A and B are shown apart, each in its own frame.
Chain A
Amino acid sequence: MTNSLWGRLDDVAGDAGYDDHPPRMGFFTDTSVCIGCKACEVACKEWNQVPDDGYLLTGMSYDNTGALGASTWRHVAFVEKSLDVSTVDLGLPAMGPPEGQGQATESGDNGIRWLMSSDVCKHCTHAACLDVCPTGALFRTEFGTVVVQPDVCNGCGYCVPACPYGVIDQRKEDGRVFKCTLCYDRLKDGETPACAQACPTESIQYGEVSELRQRAANRVHELHEKGVDVARLYGADPDDGVGGDGAFFLLLDEPEVYGLPPDPVVTTRDLGSMWRHVGAAAATLVGIGVASFVGRRR
C-alpha cells in the first residue's frame, strides 16, 4: 500500500494490479513550439466523437474553447502578455482587453508575447478522480492512464471536485462525466493518440513516460542554453503533489499564466491519515464508552 495514494510511485499499472503490462504511456506537450492551430482539439473530437461545446466568442484572445470540460478534452490556451516592463504583471491569464490602454502599443515599444499551450487531462500518478469513484467507472489502464467508462458511470460527480486540475466534468444534459482517454482504443492497437498524430509541430509528443521525461529534461536544457531562461517543466517531477503527471508540459511562464494550478496536490493525499485519525477517534470513543461502563460498574 505504500505510496498508493501519494508520493513517488514508479510502477503505476503494477500498483493498480496489472502483473504483466506495457510501459506507462503519456504526453509531453512542449508549448515552446505550439503554434495554436488547434488541430489537437479537432482531431480529438473527430476521433472520440465528442460533441461541439457551443458557439461562443469569449473575447479571451483566440481561445473560444475556454477550458477543459466534458466536451473539450484538449484545450489550447492563448495568453497575450505585454512585454512592457511598466505594466504590472498580475500573473493571471489575459481575460478581456489588455490593461493600460492609450499610447502603450505604438510601433517600436517592447511588443507582446503570445503564449499558446494545449492542455489535457494529466493522467496523474495518483488520480483522485479514480480514488473517489464509487462505481469503478474510472479505472487505471494497463498503460498507466486513467479512463472513464461511460456505461458504468452513474453521474454521482464525486470525481469532479476531486480533480486538482479541474479537468473532469459532467455533461449537463447527460449527467455523466467525460474526459481524455489518452485514446485508449488507439493505444490498444499500437496507434498514437489522435491529438499527437495531428500536431504539425510535434508540440504534443506521445510515448513512454520515462523516455518523455528524459526528452523534456533535454529540451529544457537546450532552451536554457539558448538563453530561454523562462522554460520550465510542469508535472514532470515524480515527487510532486500528484506523484508526477502522465501528461506533462514545458511552459514558458508561471503555470498560473496558462491557468494551471502552481502546486497541485492529489486531493486524496490525506485519505490514509484521515482514515487513521477517524479510526483513532472511533477507537477513543469506543474506549471512553467502555471506560464509562466500566466505571459505572464500580
Chain B
Amino acid sequence: MAEAHPVGFQWVMEAKKRGATVIHVDPRFTRTSAVADVHVPIRAGSDIAFLGALVNHVLSNDLDFREYVVAYTNAANVITESYEDTEDLDGLFSGFDPETGIYDPVTWRYDPPEEMNAEERERAGELEQEERESTAGDHQQSHQAARSESHGSGGAPVSWKGRRDETLQHPRCVFQILKRHFARYTPEMVEEVCGIKPDQFREVAEALTSNSGRDRTTAFCYAVGWAHHSVGAQMIRTASILQLLLGNIGRPGGGIMALRGHASIQGSTDIPTLFNILPGYLPMPHADQHASLDEWVRGDEGKAGFWGNVRSYAVSLLKAYWGDAATADNDFCYDYLPRVTGDHSTYTTVKGMIEGSCKGYFLVGENPAVGSANGKMQRLGMANLDWLVVRDLQMIESATFWKDGPEIETGELVTEDIGTEVFFLPAASHVEKAGSFTQTQRMLQWRDKAVDPPGDCRSELDFYYELGQRIRDKLAGSTDEMDRPLLDLAWDYPAHDGEVDGQAVLREINGTGPDGAALSAYTELKPDGSTSCGCWIYCGVYADEVNQARRRKPHWEQDHVASEWGWVWPANRRILYNRASAAPDGTPWSERKKYVWWDAEQGKWVGSDVPDFVADRAPDHVPEDGAKGPDAIGGQDPFVMQTDGKAWLFAPLGLADGPMPAHYEPPESPVHNPLYGQQNNPARRKLDHPSNPINPSWSEVFPYVFTTYRLTEHHTAGAMSRTLPYLTELQPEPFCEVSPRLAAERGLEHGGWATIVTARTAIEARVLVTERLRSLRLGEQFVEQVGLPYHWGGNGISRGDSANDLVNVTMDPNVYIQDKVGTCDIRPGRRPRGRDLTAYVEDYRRRAGVDMEHPEEGGAE
C-alpha cells in the first residue's frame, strides 16, 4: 500500500502512531513491509490457503463473534441436502459440468422455510424441477453474460429467507459446512502451500483475533495482489468470510478496503466502463432474456431490501438518457439500450480483434500494449482493426506498435501489412479539467481545473460531447429507426468558456424530480417516469443544488466521521451496513465502538453516521408475510441490499466458481495442489489462441514463479511517469528482483542483465539481487519467485521490455480478469534479438512440451 498508494498510506501510519498493529502479507518485502510491525512473505497466488487457515483458526477455536454471526450472517441457514462440498468431491463443488467447465448452482441453495406460504411452495416446485433437469444450458448463457458479476449491487436474489437453526448445530447449516470445508486449512498446510512458518501464522492469527470482537475491530486492505488471479473473487470472499466471523463488517475500524489501480477506478465501476453493468450496478440487458423493461427488472423487483426498488432506479436512468422521449408508452425507451449476447469483456474482445469480428477500438487513458496481460495478443489485435482511436497525454506504445512494437522487431508484424488507421488525440490531464474522483471508501471528491490544457488537448467530457453532437448532426433528419436512440438522447449541457460544465453532468447523475429540482436521496426515485437519475447510488451528491462532492471542511473542524468532506455514496453514508455496529437489540456493541444505534425514545436510528437502515425500523420489527422491497427488511437484518438481509458466509447463488472459496493453484505453477486433487480453478476462463500458450505446471523448463507489480516512482503502464525526467531518474530502467539463492542457482549478477522466459515470449531486465525477495520452503520443495515491475515499454525517456508480455490470459470466471502469477525461466544475459527471439521461445515451448493444439490448457489435468 505504501508502494502504490503512498498518500492513502498516511492514514495507516497515523493508525500505527495511535497503536495499531500493521501486518503486511506480500511475496516481496516492500516499502509497506519496511514500516509494518510484521511482514509475512507468501507465495504469490496462495492467499486462499492462508486466509482459509485463519478462518479455520477462528472456527476451530470458537473465536468467532457468535452473537454477530448468528444474527447478521447466514451461518444459521440450512443448505439443501443435495449440496456436496470439495471435501466430498476432491476439490469440486456439486453442480460442475466438466464438458462446459461451468457450475450449476442449483444444489447450493437454502433449504426452504419449514412453513411455506403459497408463493414459496410454487418456487420450491420450480427449483425441484430445475434440479431434476439440471441442464447447464441456461446457466451457461447466464454466466457467459457475466450475470454473476451483475448481481453486484443486490447480490443474487434468493428464493426465500429459508430454514434457520440459530443453535448452529444442524449438520447442514452454513456454520457446520464452513467448519468442515475449512478444516483441512491448517497451519501446517499453510507452510506447505504458502511457505509461511506455523509460528508466524499463529502470530498473525493471534493478532487478528485478539483485535476483533465487541471492543476492537480490524480492517483489511488489498489491491490487485488479490484481484488479479484466476481465483481473485474467491480470495476476496475468503477475507469477507473471515471479517464476518470476527464481526468486522459494518463497524468503525473494520471492513475490507479495495485499493484501486488508479484514480477513480471505483467511479468507473459505479458509472461503469464495463460491458455487463449500467450505472449503479444495474445489469446490462441480455438480448435473449430481457425483451422488455418488465423482463429486465423481473428478477429483482419486489424482492426484500432496497434492491427491490430496481424499477425506480432503472426507469430514472432511462429518463436521464432519453429525457422527454422516454415515456411509459414506449417502456421509457428501454428498447434503445444496447444488449449483451455473451462475454464481451476486454480479453474476449481482443481475441475478437485478432479473429476479425471487432473492427474499431477506442483507447482512452489506457495503454494495453504495456498494461494488459499478454501484450502480444493486444498488439496482434490492434494490428487487425480498421481503426483505432487513442486519447492520451503521451504517444504511448498502443499508438505506435505498428511501427516500433516488439513484433516489428521479430518480424511477426510488418508495418506495411498493418491496415489499422490510428487516430491519436491529445488529452487533458486531471489538473487541466474539472471533475470528480471516487475512491475506495466510495467517496466522491471534486477537483477544480487548475490550468488550461496545452495546445489541442481536451477533456474527455468535451471530446465525447462534441463527438455526440457531430454524429447527431450527421444523422439529423434521418427516418431510420436505428438512429432514434442517438437522435432522442438528452444531449444538452451548458458550457462555460467553450467547455462543457462538468457540474451539470454531476447534477444529471444526481437526478431531478418532477419540478426539475435536484433530488436529495434515492428513496425519492419513482418508477413512473416522474424522476430522472443518471446513477441511483449517486443520488444526493447534488442535494440542495450544491455540489456536495466539493466540500472540503478539514477534519479538525468536525467530528471523527468527517461527513462534510466530499460525499460518499449512498446517501453520504461513510460506513455501509452500519446497522451491524449495534447489537441485535439496537444498543452499541461497546462504548468504544459505538457508531449507529437505536434511540427508543425518538423511535429512530441515531449516531455519528447516516444510518444504513430504514430510519424508524425498530430492532424487534418482524416484516409481515408477503412484504416487498424495503418493507421486507427485518429489524435485525443489517445487510439491506441482500434479499435475506444477511451477510453471506456461504453464497447460495451469484458466484461462478463455488459457494465458498477453495485454494487452487495458479494456471501455471511449480506446485502440486496440496489441498485437493483438483489443481486449478475448474471454472477458470481459458482463452484459446496460439499467442496465449500456457506453461505446463510442474515443468522443469519453467521452474520459477514470477509475479508483476508496481513501484512508487512509476504509474501503471508508464505513460504518466517514464515520460517525465523527475520520475524517470528515480527508477530509470526495468529490472527484476531475485533472491540471493536464485541468483546463485542461475548465476545472475547484481546489476547485470537477465532474460526471463515464458511460453509467450522472453524479456530482458537488469537484475537486483535482494533479500527482500525470499526463497520459500514448501515442505521439501524450494520455490523461488521472480519479481517484475511492469511499468516499461518501448517509448518514453526510459525504455525497456514490458513484463506484462510474459503474463498469460487465464481468467477469473466471475470478473474475467487475468492471473498475474505465472511460471518462468530466468537466465543471465540479454535476450536474443529479432527472429532469434521467436526461435528461442519456440525452443522453450518445445522442451516444455507445450501442446500448441490446445495452448490454453497448460496440461495440468
Contact = CB atoms under 8 A, between A and B. Distances in A.
B771 A105 contact: yes
A96 interface: yes
Nearest to B1: A35
Contact of B741 (A37, A106, A115): A106
B798 interface: yes
Contact of A200 (B6, B29, B797): B6
Interface stretch (A54-62, A143-151, A230-238, A262-270): A54-62
B9 to A, nearest CB: 6
Interface stretch (A38-46, A181-189, A290-298): A38-46
Given A52-B725, A62-B731, A102-B744, A107 B6 contact: no
A102 B741 CA distance: 5
A106 B776 contact: yes
A135 interface: no
B770 A61 contact: yes
Contacts of A96: 750-751
A104 B769 CA distance: 13
A112 B29 contact: yes
A297 B711 CA distance: 85
Interface string B45-56: 000000000000
Contact of B776 (A54, A64, A104, A107): A107
Nearest to A54: B729
Given A41-B730, A55-B729, A97-B769, A35 B13 contact: yes
A96 B769 CA distance: 8
A278 interface: no
Contacts of B725: 51-52
Interface in A131-162: none
Interface string A113-135: 11110000000000000000000
Contacts of A54: 729
Nearest to B777: A106
A244 to B, nearest CB: 26
B196 A105 contact: no
B634 to A, nearest CB: 44
Contacts of A200: 6-7, 9-10
A45 B727 CA distance: 11
Contacts of B556: none
A214 B740 CA distance: 43
B735 to A, nearest CB: 7
Contacts of A202: 10, 13
Interface stretch (B33-41, B70-78, B363-371): B33-41
Interface string B175-206: 00000000000000000000111011000000
A36 interface: yes
A97 B768 CA distance: 8
B6 A100 contact: no
B712 interface: yes
A101 interface: yes
B732 A101 contact: no
Given A56-B732, A105-B739, A114-B33, A35 B9 contact: yes
A29 interface: no
Interface in A8-35: 32-35
Contact of A80 (B727, B739, B772, B798): B772
B423 interface: no
A201 B9 contact: yes
B766 interface: yes
B771 A36 contact: no
A108 interface: yes
A81 to B, nearest CB: 9
B782 interface: yes
B197 A52 contact: no
B775 interface: yes
B846 interface: no
Interface residues of A, number: 47
A59 B753 CA distance: 12
B728 interface: yes
Nearest to A39: B6
A82 interface: yes
B820 interface: no
A98 interface: yes
Nearest to B6: A37
Given A55-B798, A200-B7, A80 B31 contact: no
A227 to B, nearest CB: 11
A107 B31 contact: no
A59 B768 contact: yes
A182 B797 CA distance: 30
Contacts of A62: 711, 731
Contacts of B200: 108
Nearest to A33: B13
Contacts of B7: 200
B370 to A, nearest CB: 19
B131 interface: no
A39 B727 CA distance: 10
B35 A35 contact: yes
A205 interface: no
A287 interface: no
Nearest to A112: B771
Interface string B791-820: 000000110000000000000000000000
A283 B741 CA distance: 69
A260 to B, nearest CB: 19
Contacts of A64: 729-732
Contact of B777 (A37, A42, A107, A112): A107
Contact of A46 (B726, B740, B766): B726
A75 to B, nearest CB: 11
A106 B774 contact: yes
Given A59-B768, A98-B771, A102-B744, A111 B730 contact: no
Contacts of B2: 35-37
A205 B703 CA distance: 48
B770 A53 contact: no
Contacts of A2: none
B713 interface: yes
Contacts of A53: 729
B195 A55 contact: no
A35 B6 contact: yes
Contacts of A103: 741, 775
B753 to A, nearest CB: 11
Given A35-B31, A101-B741, A108-B200, A45 B776 contact: no
B730 A105 contact: no
Contacts of B797: 55
Contacts of A61: 768, 770
Interface in B1-46: 2, 6-7, 9-10, 13, 17, 29, 31-35, 39, 41
A111 B743 contact: no
B786 to A, nearest CB: 14
Nearest to A103: B741
B34 A104 contact: no
Nearest to B728: A55
Nearest to B769: A97
Interface string B726-769: 11111111010001110110000011000000000000001011
The 3 nearest A-B residue pairs measured at CB: A97-B750, A55-B732, A37-B6
17 contacts: A33-B35, A34-B35, A35-B6, A36-B34, A37-B712, A41-B730, A52-B725, A52-B728, A53-B729, A59-B768, A61-B770, A101-B743, A106-B777, A107-B774, A107-B775, A200-B7, A201-B6
Interface of B: 2, 6-7, 9-10, 13, 17, 29, 31-35, 39, 41, 195-197, 199-200, 711-713, 725-733, 735, 739-741, 743-744, 750-751, 766, 768-772, 774-777, 782, 797-798
Interface of A: 32-39, 41-42, 45-46, 51-57, 59, 61-62, 64-65, 80, 82, 96-98, 100-108, 111-116, 200-202
Given A96-B750, A98-B771, 19 more contacts: A35-B9, A35-B34, A38-B730, A41-B726, A45-B726, A46-B726, A55-B728, A59-B766, A62-B731, A64-B730, A64-B731, A98-B740, A107-B41, A107-B196, A107-B775, A108-B199, A108-B200, A111-B29, A112-B772
